Chains A and B, each alone.
Chain A
């Protein structure tokens, strides 16, 4: 890495937007270059200073009132907030009386759903536990590299399947490495990504606890969990990342896997 590259990338480093490989490159360059080391230090303290200074402006109260006033007013709802639940409850019971057969069918499918969800829930809880465990120091990665071609072969011989490893660095999700984990007594691959300071564990396994290919979303202990199946594999993504950003992640992973067809043992 030369000074010109370092000068741009050091900002991404102090902003926590750089993947592990590039971060090491920047730090290695700065270690041997006094000028860049000085810049790194200076910009880092400048960034800290800006973070601590109160640079945000509070919106004037008058502006807030004007915007509130411009929105459609919920006047009627405020006066009679309890007006609506009653008729809707009557409709609900009415529906039961009219179509008992239909209701029975609905009830049966409801039970199925609940049972299925229970099984899913157990796995989801284990997934979150594994995620939390991985965040403890030194547990996150068995193989630490931002190179997808190093991560993928590492799983050879450790699993029955070759988990797809996608590099999404260009799209803001940094590949950190991979880890072998156990969910429900089965070995699973965990591919570890990072978005800013948020770690994402992507667990990949064959039919992890569930035979159906249902997709699902969940929030457990404040962690967002996404589950889907593709190409005969079960995918679980878990992170403390905001729900919409985790959705973006799962979409990017799915999109990256699609063109090359279902990933299988290689």
Chain B
């Protein structure tokens, strides 16, 4: 066996050890950015291929944000290729997110209390999915991928101050969406009944 082949295998092994443990994190972000599973899988696969190609030049900082930054580039490249910035998600508080939400027993409970009871997270996922891209990305990197503000800033390529204002907006929008849902449920809001 040649040294080149050995080096190549050694690199593959190191890459496998370093990068594969983050597969769920990478897939999760892809799922929220691409909005469907097939596109997400393609993006993740492309991300790992690119990461392997650039693994020689990888010097840190941490593997997870590095992979997520690559994934984000892959997703953006795909959106650019399709000729649109992304499926428009011009969400406003007036839009009926309510139809996707389950009904709850206590209409006057605060949205936060409802959130607390919602163990499966499916409803929260749908609410996150309805956020416009920069806010969706920020909240997923923070709450799901568990990155620090600094890491989010690096992944998204924006200053930390922008991360802070995006997170504030994202959480305000999420909260507003719960309030809309909450107001919609007591009566017979169309679409809320199964």
A residues within 8 Å of B by Cβ?
7-9, 11-12, 15, 17, 42-43, 45-60, 62-64, 66-68, 70-74, 76-77, 170-172, 195-196, 242, 244-245, 247-248
A76 to B171, CA, bound (A): 52
Known: A8-B168, A46-B171. A53 touches B124 (CB 8 A): yes
Would you give the shortest CB distance from A26 to chain B, in whole angstroms?
12
The interface residues of chain A lying within 8 Å CB-to-CB of B144 are 55-56
Evaluate contact between B148 and A172: CB separation under 8 angstroms: yes
Selected contact of A11 from candidates B26, B62, B140, B168, CB within 8 Å: B168
Task: Indicate whether B68 reaches chain A with its CB closer than 8 angstroms.
Answer: no
Ordered by A's residue number, 6 sampled pairs between the chains whose C-beta atoms are within 8 Å are A8-B168, A45-B115, A48-B116, A60-B41, A171-B150, A172-B148
A59 to B175 CA separation, bound complex (whole angstroms): 28
Any chain A CB within 8 A of the CB of B189? no
User: Which listed residue (A17, A51, A56) contacts B148, Cβ 8 A?
Assistant: A17
Across the interface, which residues of A come within 8 angstroms of B115, CB to CB? 45-46, 49-50, 53
Interchain CB contact under 8 A, A12 and B150: no
Q: CB < 8 Å: which of B12, B13, B48, B124 contacts A49?
A: B124
Further contacts, 20 of them, CB under 8 A, given A52-B119, A56-B25: A7-B168, A8-B164, A15-B149, A45-B112, A46-B112, A48-B116, A49-B124, A53-B121, A55-B28, A55-B128, A57-B28, A59-B26, A60-B37, A66-B45, A70-B49, A71-B12, A73-B12, A77-B9, A170-B160, A244-B62
Q: Mark B1-34, 1 if CB is under 8 A from A, else 0.
A: 1000100110111011000100111111001000
In the assembled complex, B44 has its CB within 8 A of some CB on chain A: yes
**Cα–Cα, bound, A49→B167 (Å):** 16
Enumerate the 10 nearest inter-chain pairs by beta-carbon distance, A residue then B residue, closest first. A53-B121, A49-B115, A59-B27, A172-B150, A45-B112, A72-B12, A57-B28, A59-B23, A244-B60, A55-B144
Q: Number of B interface residues at 8 Å Cβ cutoff, please give it.
A: 55
Q: Which residues of B are in contact with A by a Cβ distance under 8 Å? A: 1, 5, 8-9, 11-13, 15-16, 20, 23-28, 31, 37, 41, 44-45, 48-49, 52, 60-62, 110-113, 115-116, 118-121, 124-125, 128, 140, 142-144, 148-150, 160, 164-165, 167-168, 171, 174-175
Q: A59-B44, A67-B48 are in contact. Are A53 and B119 (CB under 8 A)?
A: yes
Contact of A47 among B23, B125, B128, B143 (CB under 8 A): B143
B65 to chain A, nearest CB (A): 10
Q: Quick check: B165 and A8 within 8 Å, CB to CB?
A: yes
Q: How far is the CB of B176 from chain A (nearest CB, A)?
A: 11
A172–B161 alpha-carbon span in the complex (Å):
11
Complex Cα spacing A70 to B16, Å:
11
One of A42, A67, A74 near B45 (C-beta < 8 A): A67
Contacts of B112 in A (CB 8 A): 42, 45-46, 49
Alpha-carbon distance A51/B13, docked complex (angstroms) = 33
Q: Are A248 and B49 in contact (CB under 8 A)?
A: no
Q: Are B121 and A54 in contact (CB under 8 A)?
A: yes
